[in-house]
Amino acid sequence: MAEDTLTTSGIGRHGATRLPSVDVDSFNIELKDDDGFLGDRASKGAFRKILDTLRKPLKKNGDDPLGDKSAEAIGKSALDEALVGDDVGAAALVHGAIEEFARELAHVTQRFLKTKAWADTERIVVGGGFRQSRVGELAIARTDILLKAEGFEVDLVPIRFDPDDAGLIGCLHLAPSWIFQAHDSILAVDIGGTNIRCGVVETRWKKAPDLSKAEVWKSELWRHADDEPTREGAVKRLAKMLKDLIAAADEEGLKLAPFIGIACPGVINEDGGIEKGAQNLPGNWESSKFNLPASLVEAIPQIGDHDTAVLMHNDGVAQGLSEAPFMQDVERWGVLTIGTGLGNARFTNRRKDKDKDDKKDKDDKKEKKNKD
């Protein structure tokens, strides 16, 4: 029944390469070098490893200004404070780690830019948990400078939304625009290796049809890594979170669309299965017998008076899509998400092409009229 509902929804394909506002040229590329996956050199863990390496000779003398904790145990706020604190040694350590990490990120970014899928990229937005800190912002800015010094004509900028919200807001761009004409909000899910976040996203479509003013009205976070649930247990908990949000939206008087957008790690197949990349999720999400969209439709067959439609895409794609309204001054752009790994996606804007086609059609009609 769930599969029939999904098949007949006619709303789109999971993991689609063509979306309402962009073409997805690539996502979840896994570049490798002699040491393994290249993205591992530019992850949150990579930064912590660099910082600990710089601290090692100081620890031998008992002179580590960051104390006895490992870099993994030092919070982002503590590192940010070290940057501007009175202890110049601590500040120098963090700055040194930022410099080395920026060089790694620049190297990895160059490799992406040299692939066919990323050719002619004009701008790259950087999201993920690492961006949620002054350390992350400085690393991004330094990487941008290094790329330009190497002759790459590309801008590297931090994502404008809070990364926790960006994945949810990006799910709006999975849905066809006609949905927004009768509804003012959708349900969105952002699944990660540690957390699952669900939210009600207000479209604010009447104020900004390009969805640039969209925002998360309410969200819930579940740190599933602490509970270590089964796959079925995780889906059950996710469904309950969504039902609670539906009730809250109804009580608030929101016109919730019968649509759930899902951002999920890995390569998303057209049928809603996950081909690979979901190894950090609870249980085996890559099984051919498991289909998250179908499971959610089965658990929530209707929202309001309408059948539920679900669309799922890669989490890096979804986070990048939140920037789509602000990327209309370029044609080709990408996203890198720095977290447990390095998520990636490359986009080509469609609306700009459509505008060009519309203008050409008008010019052709005008020319024909003049001839007549």
* Buried/exposed 51-60: b ≥16 CB within 10 Å, e otherwise: bbebbeeeee
With bands split at pLDDT 50, 70 and 90, how would you rate the model's confidence at 63? confident
CA 301 to chain centre: 27
Domain count of the chain? 2
- Do 136 and 191 lie in a common domain? no
Residue 25 phi, psi dihedral angles, 5° rounding: -75, -35
Question: What angle, rounded to 10 degrees, do the helices at 134-149 and 76-84 form?
Answer: 70
| 202-237 pLDDT per residue, tens | 999 999 999 999 999 999 999 998 999 999 999 999
Of the candidates 291, 307, 322, which is a domain's last residue?
Answer: 322
| 136-179 pLDDT per residue, tens | 999 999 999 999 999 999 999 999 999 899 999 999 999 998 88
For the cut 80, the answer to whether the pLDDT of residue 366 exceeds it is no
Q: Which pLDDT belongs to residue 223?
A: 93
Q: What is the maximal distance between C-alpha atoms in the chain?
A: 89
Can you read off the two tokens belonging to residue 211?
């969805």
Residues 6+ apart with CB under 8 A from 128: 44, 163, 319, 336, 337, 338, 339, 343
With bands split at pLDDT 50, 70 and 90, how would you rate the model's confidence at 39? confident
- Do 94 and 202 lie in a common domain? no
Of the candidates 322, 344, 363, which is a domain's last residue?
Answer: 322
**Residues facing residue 219 across a β-bridge:** 199
Gap between the Cα atoms of 111 and 220, Å rounded? 37
In a domain, 195, yes or no: yes
Between 11 and 326, name the one with better pLDDT: 326
For the cut 50, the answer to whether the pLDDT of residue 67 exceeds it is yes
| 314-330 pLDDT per residue, tens | 999 999 999 999 999 99
| Amino acid present at 160 | R
- Do 192 and 280 lie in a common domain? yes
Q: What pTM value is reported for the model?
A: 0.87
With bands split at pLDDT 50, 70 and 90, how would you rate the model's confidence at 60? confident
- Do 177 and 304 lie in a common domain? yes
Alpha helices in 150-215 (DSSP H): 163-170
Residue showing tokens 């990120």: 105
For the cut 90, the answer to whether the pLDDT of residue 287 exceeds it is yes
| 230-281 pLDDT per residue, tens | 999 999 999 999 999 999 999 999 999 999 999 999 999 999 999 998 888 9
With bands split at pLDDT 50, 70 and 90, how would you rate the model's confidence at 351? low
For the cut 60, the answer to whether the pLDDT of residue 121 exceeds it is yes
- Do 82 and 201 lie in a common domain? no
* Buried/exposed 114-152: b ≥16 CB within 10 Å, e otherwise: eeeebeebebbbbbbbbbbbbbbbbbbebbbebbeeeeb
For the cut 70, the answer to whether the pLDDT of residue 1 exceeds it is no
- Do 150 and 38 lie in a common domain? yes
In a domain, 273, yes or no: yes
Residue 152, domain extent: 32-158
Return mean pLDDT, the chain. Answer: 90
| 294-319 pLDDT per residue, tens | 999 999 999 999 999 999 999 999 99
- Do 148 and 10 lie in a common domain? no
In a domain, 238, yes or no: yes
- Do 127 and 249 lie in a common domain? no
Q: Which pLDDT belongs to residue 161?
A: 94
**Whole-number Cα distances in Å, 93 to 10, 27, 71, 89, 329:** 55, 34, 11, 6, 38
Can you read off the two tokens belonging to residue 147?
């790329």
- Do 288 and 311 lie in a common domain? yes
- Do 224 and 270 lie in a common domain? yes
Can you read off the two tokens belonging to residue 245?
């949000």
In a domain, 354, yes or no: no
- Do 69 and 199 lie in a common domain? no
Gap between the Cα atoms of 134 and 90, Å rounded? 15
Q: Is the alpha carbon torsion for 252, 305, 5, 240 positive or negative?
A: positive
* Closest alpha carbon to 172 in 249, 263, 240: 263
Residue showing tokens 């699944």: 191
Gap between the Cα atoms of 77 and 136, Å rounded? 11
Q: Which pLDDT belongs to residue 239?
A: 97
The helix (H) or strand (E) run that includes residue 315 is helix 315-321
Share of the chain above pLDDT 70, in %: 91
Name the DSSP class of 304: T
Mean pLDDT of 326-340: 94
* Closest alpha carbon to 196 in 164, 159, 230, 169: 164
Share of the chain above pLDDT 90, in %: 75
Q: The domain spanning residue 214 has which CATH number? A: 3.30.420.40
Of the candidates 135, 158, 181, which is a domain's last residue?
Answer: 158
- Do 243 and 182 lie in a common domain? yes
In a domain, 337, yes or no: no
